[in-house]
A and B are shown apart, each in its own frame.
Chain A
Amino acid sequence: MSKIKVNDELQEVTLPLTVTGLIQLNNVLQPDMVSVQLNGEFVERGEFDATELKEGDEVDFLYFMGGGC
């Protein structure tokens, strides 16, 4: 098992794993609506499938929040 941080929380995952795989593992409700930062850099949506994670990576999932009214 390898350790990566997702939204500041440590997760144990089995590599190889892509960003798309991590999104699935985390049961993200709307996978096509999430913004992803990997080690402080945004990953373009089109690159989710091809981006491989490695031990120690820090991933942030950011979600749309459109309310205010």
Chain B
Amino acid sequence: MDFTAEQIERYSRHILLQDVGVEGQEKISNGKVLVIGAGGLGAPILLYLAAAGVGTLGIIDGDVVDLSNLQRQVIHFTPDVGKPKVESAKEKILQINPEVKVVTYHQFFTAENAFDIIKDYDFVVDGTDNFPVKFLINDACVLAGKPFSHGGILRFDGQTLTHLPGTACYRCAFHSPPPPNAVPTCSQAGVLGAIAGMLGTIQAAEVLKFLTGAGDLLTNRLLTFNAKTMNFRTVNLKQNKKCPICGEHRSITQLVESEQAVCEIKSKK
């Protein structure tokens, strides 16, 4: 790929980086990334990946913008209330960077569509707000051998890990989804708006590191932080022999969805 003078100027701060350079920017420009959920995490992830010039950005979200989203979902603006989130996000992405190809899926990520959607992408990012889908993303990506970033936030806390084939997965640490309503979600317990930005930008940085090959990914590590103390820590993980999807005795060989939990969480909104 030959960059135009305008592209070289647009991406000059990446190109200046020794670990990125023209070569790394080319990899970013050829990258195909799927962001699942255009909400609190998806917003900063999409904004930074668009600005970075990721070639293709897929966005999947079945929701429309709600007034209560605007406290943290910084890709959506007040006039967007009522608009599908994928459309609202696409408009902002193209304003930041018209070079990005945006593919929108105005639907939810399910066991039925999972493999078909992720197959077109190099990397998947979890920006969802409930456990059934977080586990579904893990399972689909592990079974398909697809790298992904897990992210979760609640109140003043956030956590994230990056999975590549052969490294610890989300189920290695968290065996199976908690029973419905056992662990509160943001819509039940609240979240400090900026936490979404803190965690989402970490996930976006992981994507750019993955695409360029710069640095060490958060593989076999779980990064957690608490914004009250501003303590960050990484817990070393390793693949769990008893993991139901990547361990020695695998009980999960196909996608199953905890439908009921999804419905219950949805109706709580």
Residues of A within 8 A of B (CB): 7-8, 30, 32-33, 35, 37, 40, 42, 44-45, 60, 62-69
Q: Does B130 lie within 8 Å of A40, measured CB to CB?
A: no
A46 to B224, CA, bound (A): 25
User: Considering the chains assembled together, what is the distance between the CA atoms of A65 and B182 in angstroms?
Assistant: 12
Q: Contacts of B37 on A, CB cut-off 8 Å?
A: 68-69
- Select B178's contact among A37, A40, A64, beta carbons within 8 Å: A64
Identify which of residues 206-263 in chain B touch chain A, using a CB-to-CB cut-off of 8 Å.
222, 224, 233, 235-238, 240, 242
Binary interface encoding of chain B residues 63-78 relative to chain A, with 1 for a CB under 8 A from any of its CBs, else 0: 0000001000100000
Number of B positions contacting A (CB below 8 A): 44
Q: Which of chain A's residues has its CB closest to B237's CB? A: A37
Distance between A29 CB and nearest chain B CB, rounded to angstroms? 10
> Which residues of chain B are near A64, meaning CB under 8 Å?
131, 152, 174, 178, 183
Chain A interface: which of B48-56, B90-98, B138-146, B185-193? B185-193
Contacts of B174 in A (CB 8 A): 35, 62, 64
Tell me the interface secondary structure of chain B in the complex. mixed
Q: Which of B131, B172, B196, B233 contacts A66, CB < 8 Å?
A: B131
Residue positions of B touching A, CB distance < 8 A: 37, 39-42, 69, 73, 126-131, 134, 151-154, 157-159, 172-175, 178, 182-187, 189, 191, 196, 222, 224, 233, 235-238, 240, 242
Cross-chain contact of A67 among B40, B222, B237, B238 (Cβ < 8 A): B40
Instruction: Give the CA-CA distance A50 to B127 in the complex, in Å.
Output: 37
> Are the CB atoms of B235 and A60 closer together than 8 Å?
yes
Q: Are B182 and A68 in contact, CB atoms less than 8 angstroms apart?
A: no
**Contact: A8 with B39, CB < 8 Å?**
no
| Residues A67 and B186 in contact in the complex (CB < 8 Å), given A40-B236, A44-B242, A62-B222 | yes
A67 to B42, CA, bound (A): 12
- Flag if A7 contacts B233 (CB, 8 Å): yes
Beyond the given A37-B235, A68-B39, A69-B73, please list 8 additional residue pairs across the A-B interface where CB-CB is below 8 A: A7-B233, A62-B235, A66-B152, A66-B183, A68-B41, A69-B127, A69-B129, A69-B185
Q: Are the CB atoms of A66 and B240 closer together than 8 Å?
A: no
